[in-house]
């Protein structure tokens, strides 16, 4: 009887240890929840290349917009207030650079329409994709079809929050209101967009944006 009890206790102990090891193994294989790593920029004025380095780093999280914003916030938090102002200046210049009828037509077709604000948020989205994508699509708007993930379109191609992230971090670092920032991107332009105005005619859209039309034409 004592032998039976001893054997039973031994078996029970082994079972408990095995179960505990299995649960421990599962816990160890679970991916740790860590914030995105920030990119560190050298001291001194932030160059245009530095601006794009920050954007490109954040674009690694492009499939998850909140994560991309978190990465950009973390990177901007390492900058001085003056460097954050430089970032905002480069952002403003890049938004102006992409203010063209050709690109507006691409936004209109792929997003199912594009108001003034919609086109602004579309360009924020395009900047968030990184320098290579921005420069390619700005030069050849129909190339937008090459970088859009399946199922994306009709209102999805916008990233308004990107326009405010530098102001938010600058205000947090200085303790001042964001509208006191020396440079604030102003996307209400007096001049017309560059280039020739696009037509909403299906035939004209199909001619001007053949690849986008194959995907979004109606």
Domain count of the chain?
1
SS3 (DSSP) at 164: helix
Domain that holds residue 176: 48-216
Q: What's the CA gap between 50 and 35, in Å, rounded?
A: 22
Is 41 among the domain residues? no
Of 20 and 105, more confident: 105
Alpha helices (H) in the chain, listed in sequence order: 2-29, 48-58, 65-76, 81-97, 101-111, 116-128, 131-139, 144-147, 165-174, 202-208, 210-216
Dihedral, CA atoms, 125, 127, 130, 131, nearest 10 degrees? Answer: 150
- Give the lowest-confidence range in 67-71, 85-89, 129-133, 181-185: 181-185
Cα–Cα distance for residue pair 62/134, rounded to 1 Å: 14
For residue 66, the model assigns a pLDDT of 96
What pLDDT score does 189 carry? 74
| Phi, psi dihedral angles at 100 (to 5 degrees) | -135, 155
Q: What are phi and psi of 194, to 5 degrees?
A: -70, 150
pLDDT at 5 (0 to 100): 42
Residue 173 lies in a domain: yes
Given a contact cutoff of 8 angstroms between Cβ atoms, the answer to whether 21 and 15 are in contact is no
Q: Which residues contact 159 (CB under 8 A, 6 or more apart)?
A: 65, 121, 124, 125, 127, 128
Residue 38 placed within a domain: no
Structure tokens at 4: 């039976």
Structure tokens at 65: 């917009």
pLDDT digits (tens, 9 = 90+) for 16-75: 333 333 333 333 323 334 555 667 778 899 999 999 999 999 999 999 999 999 999 999
The Cα 33–Cα 137 span in angstroms is: 34
Choice between 103 and 16, residue whose per-residue pLDDT is larger: 103
Residue 29 lies in a domain: no
Range ranked top by mean pLDDT from 1-5, 175-179, 182-186: 175-179
Which is more confidently placed, 115 or 11?
115
pLDDT for position 27: 30
Q: Which pLDDT score is estimated for 33?
A: 43
How many Cα neighbours within 13 Å face the side chain of 34?
Answer: 6
Q: What was the pLDDT predicted at 152?
A: 81
24 in any annotated domain: no
Q: 11 lies in a domain?
A: no
pLDDT digits (tens, 9 = 90+) for 129-170: 999 999 999 999 999 999 998 888 777 899 999 999 999 999
Which pLDDT value is given to residue 1?
Answer: 43
Q: How many CA atoms lie within 13 A of 62 on its CB side?
A: 20
| pLDDT for position 155 | 77
* Residue 151 is assigned to a structural domain of this protein: yes
């Amino acid at each position: 009887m004592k032998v039976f009890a001893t054997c039973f206790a031994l078996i029970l102990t082994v079972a408990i240890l095995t179960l505990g090891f299995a649960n421990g193994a599962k816990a160890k294989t679970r991916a740790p929840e860590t914030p995105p790593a920030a990119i560190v920029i050298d001291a001194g004025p932030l160059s245009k290349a530095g601006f794009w380095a920050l954007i490109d780093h954040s674009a690694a999280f492009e499939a998850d917009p909140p994560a991309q914003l978190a990465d950009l916030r973390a990177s901007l938090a390492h900058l001085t207030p003056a460097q954050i102002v430089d970032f905002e200046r480069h952002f403003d210049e890049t938004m102006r650079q992409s203010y063209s009828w050709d690109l507006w037509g691409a936004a209109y077709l792929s997003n199912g329409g594009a108001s003034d604000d919609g086109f602004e948020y579309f360009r924020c989205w395009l900047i968030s994709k990184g320098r290579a994508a921005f420069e390619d699509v700005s030069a050849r708007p129909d190339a937008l079809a090459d970088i859009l993930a399946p199922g994306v379109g009709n209102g999805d191609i916008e990233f308004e929050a990107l326009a405010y992230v530098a102001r938010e971090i600058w205000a947090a670092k200085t303790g001042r209101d964001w509208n006191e920032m020396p440079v604030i991107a102003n996307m209400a332009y007096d001049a017309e967009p560059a280039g020739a105005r696009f037509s909403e005619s299906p035939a004209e859209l199909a001619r001007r944006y053949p690849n986008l039309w194959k995907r979004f034409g109606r």
